[in-house]
Amino acid sequence: MFSYCVPMSNWKVIYVSSRAEKKVAERLKEKGIECYLPIKKEMKQWSDRKKMVESPLINGYVFVRPKPLQRDVVLQQQGVLNYVRYNGGDAVVREMEIEALKSIEEKGYHVKGAFSNVFSQGDKVKIEYGPFKGLYGSVKAEAKQHVFYIAIEGIGYTLTVKVPDEVLAKIKCTT
C-alpha cells in the first residue's frame, strides 16, 4: 500500500461586487471553499455618535484557495465577478503574503519605528525579521518614520506598513 500527498492549492484572488466582500466570503465558506478576507477596524464618527466599523483591508478583493474542482464553483457565487488575472493565468498569492496580511490585520497593521539615516527614500529592501520576514519592497521616508510598501506581486497591490528600520536589509537590484 502506498500513500501520496496532495499538494496544497495556491491562494488566488477574486474580484467581487462593490461592498459585497463579507457576503461573498460567507457564501464561499458555506460551500466549503477556503477563503480569507482581511479586515481593518476604524473608528467612524457621525454627528451624533462614534462607532468602531469593520471594513475590508483591500476593497473589492477576496482571497480564495479553491481545490482544483472548486475553481468554477467560486465563479458561480453571487457577487463574484472574476478571478484576478496576471500573465495570462489566475493571479497567485504566496502563503507568506497571506500570512503578512493576517499579521497586519491582527496587529492593527501598524508597527512603530524610529527614524534612521541608514535607508534613503526609494531604497529597495527586504524584511529580515518579524511577521513580514521575506517580503520585498521600497522605503519612503515620511514624517521621520520609515514606511515600507509591501507589494503583493501576483495582483500588483501595495499596502503601506510602518516597520522599524532594524528589520530591513538593503538589496541590490539587477536589471
| CATH assignment of the domain containing 137 | 2.30.30.30
Q: Which structural domain range is residue 79 located in?
A: 11-93
- Total domains in the chain come to 2
Q: Flag whether pLDDT at 151 surpasses 70.
A: no
Better-predicted residue by pLDDT, 88 or 78: 78
Last-in-domain residue among 26, 59, 93: 93
Question: How far, in Å, are 33, 39, 75, 169 from residue 79 at the CA level?
Answer: 15, 18, 9, 41
37 and 63 together in one domain: yes
Cα angle, residue 140 at apex, residues 42 and 156 outer, rounded to 5° = 70
On whether both 72 and 123 belong to a single domain, the answer is: no
User: What pTM, to 2 d.p., does this model score?
Assistant: 0.63
Q: Is residue 114 part of a domain?
A: yes
Which of 93, 116, 148 finishes a domain?
A: 93
Predicted pLDDT at 160:
67
Same domain, 120 and 60: no
Residue 80 forms part of a structural domain: yes
Residue 49 has pLDDT above 70, yes or no: yes
Whose cell is 495556491? That residue is 10
Q: What is the reported pLDDT for 105?
A: 81
Q: What is the mean pLDDT of residues 71-83?
A: 94
How confident is the model at residue 5, as a pLDDT?
A: 45
